[in-house]
Amino acid sequence: MEHTSNEKLLDIRDLSVEYHSNGKIVKAVSNLNLSLKKGETLGFVGETGAGKTTTALSILRILPELPSRITSGEIWFNGENLLLKSKKEMQQIRGKEISMIFQDPMTSLDPVATVGKQIEEMIGLHEKLPKKELREKAAQMLEQVGIKRERIDDYPHQFSGGMKQRVVIAMALSCNPNLLIADEPTTALNVTIQAQVLELMKNLKRQYQMSMIMITHDLGIVAEICDSVAIMYAGNIVEYGTVERVYENFCHPYTEALFDSIPSLDEDQEELKVIAGLTPDPTNLPSGCPFHPRCPYAGPECAQQAPEVRETEPGHIVRCHKDLKGGSGNE
């Protein structure tokens, strides 16, 4: 939160993204609104298939071209609409302005190029430097993420998963981006390595003073490093606010359910609590509020009409007909 200013860095307005699969249309994201201030870290939380990664890929405009399409919306970044940019302009923004860390470090590096070359490629695309300096800068980036510079000529398969993710982080940060999108950067790693990578990201974020979107399933990670949090369900944000506000005063039944599903150390639990029902079929979303079939508080209006967003307090937004207070579950 230390560097957060009031200036908006990213502002997504009414974004809708569809996938076409087997003649069916999947609404991955529908009318999503989201903004991010300079220096802010936003946690993006939701189940698999909620549309988190799709939103992130839309910002960079690297959605797989054939089956997916941004059907409406605007993505404003630093005062410019990214969806109106030409291919070439986007190429200059990718990596330099907005950078991304992907979920699985095992597959996100080119297996036949040395890690040094892959970092150099990134730097070389955005800065015209002689070869020697490129290499030196790549080596420095490796040191930044705690990898010895001697390993610059090693190939990805010579690194462990955690080390690979460090390489990916080094690469993503090598052009000093304004916005870093981290798509579940620790999901594929084991727990001890997760902690190390998170710590590293936290430090680098401070050092580079960038804004960050952290996509995750893990509410603990959000509490640790994020300023604000957006809870996503079935292609839309159902609750948004500062981490303090949302964690202490969540207003959406889905957010409540997410918190409830965290096992408690104090109680002796026989079974883990789960959210009843399944994530809805994205080709056939329920009418009204997409969460209503699983919602313990759902009333008749929930099945009929999609809820509008409400502001329960400045900066705390919720998309629900009901009014949960402080997670007590009372209307």
Taking contact as CB under 8 A, which single stretch among the options 83-91, 135-143, 249-257, 268-276 is the one that binds another protein? 83-91
Alpha helices in the chain, H assignment, sequence order = 52-60, 87-93, 115-126, 131-144, 161-173, 191-208, 219-225, 243-249, 253-260, 300-304
Q: Which two tokens stand for residue 204?
A: 């680098």
Establish if 173 lies at the interface with another protein (CB under 8 A): no
Establish if 135 lies at the interface with another protein (CB under 8 A): no
Establish if 92 lies at the interface with another protein (CB under 8 A): yes
Q: How far is the CB of 104 from another protein (least distance, A)?
A: 6
**Nearer to another protein (CB atom), residue 93 or residue 139:** 93
Task: Say which residues have a Cβ less than 8 Å from residue 50's Cβ, sequence separation at least 6.
Answer: 232, 233, 234, 235, 279
Establish if 80 lies at the interface with another protein (CB under 8 A): no
How many CB atoms are located within 10 Å of the residue 78 CB?
A: 16
Rounded CA-CA distance 160/190 in Å is 11
Q: Return the axis-axis angle of helices 161-173 and 191-208, rounded to nearest 10°.
A: 10
Q: How far is the CB of 56 from another protein (least distance, A)?
A: 10
**Nearer to another protein (CB atom), residue 87 or residue 132:** 87
Q: What share of the chain is helix, strand, coil (3-state, %, to 5)?
A: 35, 25, 40
- Laid out side by side, the sheet with 179-183 consists of 98-101, 179-183, 211-216, 41-46, 228-233, 236-242, 316-319, 309-313
CA 101 to chain centre: 10
- Written as one string, the DSSP assignment of 251-267 is -SHHHHHHHHTSPPSSS
Taking contact as CB under 8 A, which single stretch among the options 35-43, 121-129, 139-147, 313-321 is the one that binds another protein? 121-129
Q: How far is the CB of 59 from another protein (least distance, A)?
A: 11
Establish if 94 lies at the interface with another protein (CB under 8 A): yes
Establish if 138 lies at the interface with another protein (CB under 8 A): no
Kindly tell me which residue out of 20, 69, 148, 157 binds another protein, with binding defined by CB under 8 A: 157
Establish if 66 lies at the interface with another protein (CB under 8 A): yes
> Which residues, 237 to 296, sit near another protein by CB under 8 A?
none
Rounded CA-CA distance 38/177 in Å is 12
Kindly tell me which residue out of 17, 28, 70, 109 binds another protein, with binding defined by CB under 8 A: 109
**Nearer to another protein (CB atom), residue 40 or residue 183:** 183
Establish if 127 lies at the interface with another protein (CB under 8 A): no
Q: How far is the CB of 93 from another protein (least distance, A)?
A: 7
Kindly tell me which residue out of 26, 32, 45, 122 binds another protein, with binding defined by CB under 8 A: 122
Q: How far is the CB of 264 from another protein (least distance, A)?
A: 36
Kindly tell me which residue out of 11, 47, 104, 260 binds another protein, with binding defined by CB under 8 A: 104
**Nearer to another protein (CB atom), residue 66 or residue 84:** 66
Longest dimension (CA), the chain: 67
Owner of token pair 């959000």 = 222
Rounded CA-CA distance 218/92 in Å is 32
State the residues that interact with another protein by CB under 8 A.
Answer: 60, 62, 64, 66, 87, 90-96, 99-100, 102, 104, 107-113, 121-122, 125-126, 155, 157, 168, 171-172
